[in-house]
Structure 1
């Protein structure tokens, strides 16, 4: 099939920043795109060929949208999988495949999948209702501290809470969830695996992630990770095993813990371009967004090596600010060598909302990290 300057249509469910960055690549290759999102001001709207307003969780909206495209992909996991399954049965190519997406959408199913397939992960308990956690604590089935995770619909630090005492259970959503052992880890790592329709696979270098202690969001992504080569090799091996077992198509971001004993435990995965791969736009031979397009269209996968060390800084809304967004000190950031801001196109800010990111490239990883800190301390995402 001809994809370039042709009648081929690529559908993308979700119109946020990940979709917007995917569209950089489709526009580069003149691939026709159709995007659906529930927001009239979604970042994708300005860059796709067709924009459709619709509810990603509604069967009819997703099914009707998918009938008009040749290949359908996602930029967010929270979509109606029943509709995707019907589209798949009717011949629409859906990537990631619905079987993989069903497993990944639900964190409890995800964890059980790891156990069933011999993939190392932190011990956990599964609960149909959050109210069952208190009973488990009282009967000795669970001990403090642990990490509570909503089984579905969590993202960007939402749906995750460290529970240290009984009072921390107050206000938790009532639905299905897991309680996971807290791991005294050295580092939080991630590996992005690309897998094409024909099964060709490749991995990006291991990255190291530094998180905001309150928001549970990634603040910095550092590539390459500052870890021993043997640990990096083990992390890539584990990521490839997850990829092979789950049989995704496209990108799979595998988030992991490096324990004090240098074991690798899988935390969770995302079947799409991911925050941990944004550095690749400036630092890699083939950025993650182009790679996703290559994989789902069964084109040869690109070179995943880095040209230079890269660090990504997330730009999130400042605490105490809600409303029309303003970016303070952007001129100062633009004067810094090797620094590239990316603004996502969200007009409204709120505390910890992802509004953009900044990539820092430098031959020296320590220098890059130093500049990244300066960027973080300089730019402010506030309301007008």
Structure 2
């Protein structure tokens, strides 16, 4: 697709915060965005047109294709079969490809694809019942149980120890909706990730970053990661290797473990922009969102180089129960001068729901100091 201004219209399945930030990045390029989302007045609707409908509704996807020159996604709940059929009907390219989505949305299929391609991954086994889970716990001396589909932000993942109630664990993880997978528990030094992009004959990788999780939810990202150059280079090689079994253009977020002996293992891959890449809006020459727009349209990719050390801190719904979203303390973040606040426009704050993020980026800054400051600014934000 030849770059022009004004440009084409990009259809996005999903209109959450990722869809919102995609639309914000597309606008300066002259690209209009239409999103498909079932939530009335979804976050992306403030900056893009919205078609209200479910992610897998064939008629809604047809309406999206009819109004778009290319289709992409910001959520794995999109139906690859519907996308493939509608893309062919309307002669609209779909990126990443439906085949890539089929591989990634099932965690067991994803792990098998990477293992078959020689990409380093933790040991894993399929789990269909309590006997399978008992065997996995014995084999790995405890394991991480994961639902094969539908999990996100820690949902669908549970540690299992010997002697646990295996039937209850399978029910809690939601294995009845499509089976489960058990992985060995990794003794890791750091959780890392890289956003890798594939365009039309080109590949780019953003710097490796370090992710800090608590309660299975990403809290902060430090860019670049506080790891050795050797680990960073190996992580980059592995991340680019993960693109080989996956078809189509776009950005792919590769989550990794740095083990105690310096090995790098792939945890999971997302076929879209990712929370751990939000730092790139202020911290990189080209944000992950602009890179995704460029890639799926077949336009030249931008530089993925970092501008400066950067820390991103998620603003979560720190509330005991759902309440209307009203954030206070914003003035303190803005007064910091070098801080950037991103508010996702969600109408309701829920416990641990991602509501926004704060970014600090400063040339020659100490990353430990940036992390302390970012946490302080983030923790000063409260929901009334």
Q: Classify the TM-score, shorter chain.
A: over 0.9
SS in 1 for 2:125: strand
Q: 1:166 aligns with which of 164, 167, 172?
A: 164
Q: In the alignment, what sits opposite 1:343?
A: 343
Check 1:319–1:144 CA distance in 2 against 1; reply closer, same or farther (3 A cut).
farther
Q: In the alignment, what sits opposite 2:198?
A: 195
State how 1:27-176 maps to structure 2 within 5 Å: 27-48=27-48, 50-90=49-89, 91-127=91-127, 129=128, 132-137=129-134, 142-164=139-161, 165-167=163-165, 169-170=167-168, 171-172=171-172, 173=174, 174-175=176-177, 176=179
Q: Is residue 137–residue 143 contact of structure 2 (8 Å, CA) maintained in 1?
A: no
Aligned length in residues? 375
State how 1:343-362 maps to structure 2 within 5 Å: 343-362=343-362
Check 1:335–1:301 CA distance in 2 against 1; reply closer, same or farther (3 A cut).
same
Q: Work out the CA distance in 1 between the residues paired with 2:80 and 2:247.
A: 16
SS in 2 for 1:267: strand
The CA deviation string for residues 69-111 of structure 1, in whole angstroms up to 9 with x for no partner, is 2100111111111111113334210000111111011101001
Check 1:60–1:39 CA distance in 2 against 1; reply closer, same or farther (3 A cut).
same
Q: In the alignment, what sits opposite 1:307?
A: 307
Structure 2 stretches of 5 or more lacking a match? none
Q: Is residue 249–residue 298 contact of structure 2 (8 Å, CA) maintained in 1?
A: no
Once structures 1 and 2 are overlaid, which stretch shifts more, 29-38 or 113-122? 29-38
CA-based RMSD of the aligned residues comes to 1.8
The CA deviation string for residues 220-279 of structure 1, in whole angstroms up to 9 with x for no partner, is 100010000001000000001111232341101000000111001000000111111101
Q: Is residue 14–residue 76 contact of structure 1 (8 Å, CA) maintained in 2?
A: yes
Q: Work out the CA distance in 1 between the residues paired with 2:108 and 2:118.
A: 16
SS in 2 for 1:304: coil
Q: In the alignment, what sits opposite 1:294?
A: 294
Q: Is residue 163–residue 169 contact of structure 1 (8 Å, CA) maintained in 2?
A: no
Q: Work out the CA distance in 2 between the residues paired with 1:181 and 1:23.
A: 39
Q: Is residue 62–residue 80 contact of structure 1 (8 Å, CA) maintained in 2?
A: no
Q: Work out the CA distance in 1 between the residues paired with 2:197 and 2:95.
A: 12
Q: Work out the CA distance in 2 between the residues paired with 1:71 and 1:113.
A: 27
Q: Work out the CA distance in 2 between the residues paired with 1:187 and 1:325.
A: 33
Q: Is residue 156–residue 217 contact of structure 1 (8 Å, CA) maintained in 2?
A: yes
Check 1:4–1:277 CA distance in 2 against 1; reply closer, same or farther (3 A cut).
same
Q: Work out the CA distance in 1 between the residues paired with 2:123 and 2:3.
A: 45
Q: Is residue 285–residue 303 contact of structure 2 (8 Å, CA) maintained in 1?
A: yes
Q: Work out the CA distance in 2 between the residues paired with 1:332 and 1:245.
A: 46
SS in 2 for 1:155: coil
Q: Work out the CA distance in 1 between the residues paired with 2:152 and 2:167.
A: 19
Check 1:368–1:239 CA distance in 2 against 1; reply closer, same or farther (3 A cut).
same
1:115 CA drift (Å): 1.3
Q: In the alignment, what sits opposite 2:373?
A: 371
Q: Is residue 218–residue 314 contact of structure 1 (8 Å, CA) maintained in 2?
A: yes
Check 1:32–1:146 CA distance in 2 against 1; reply closer, same or farther (3 A cut).
same
Q: Is residue 134–residue 166 contact of structure 2 (8 Å, CA) maintained in 1?
A: no
Q: Work out the CA distance in 1 between the residues paired with 2:253 and 2:306.
A: 17
Structure 1 stretches of 5 or more lacking a match? none
SS in 1 for 2:374: helix
Check 1:145–1:72 CA distance in 2 against 1; reply closer, same or farther (3 A cut).
same
1:24 CA drift (Å): 0.9
Q: 2:213 aligns with which of 211, 223, 230?
A: 211
1:257 aligns with 2:254: no
1:193 CA drift (Å): 0.5
Q: Work out the CA distance in 2 between the residues paired with 1:139 and 1:12.
A: 39
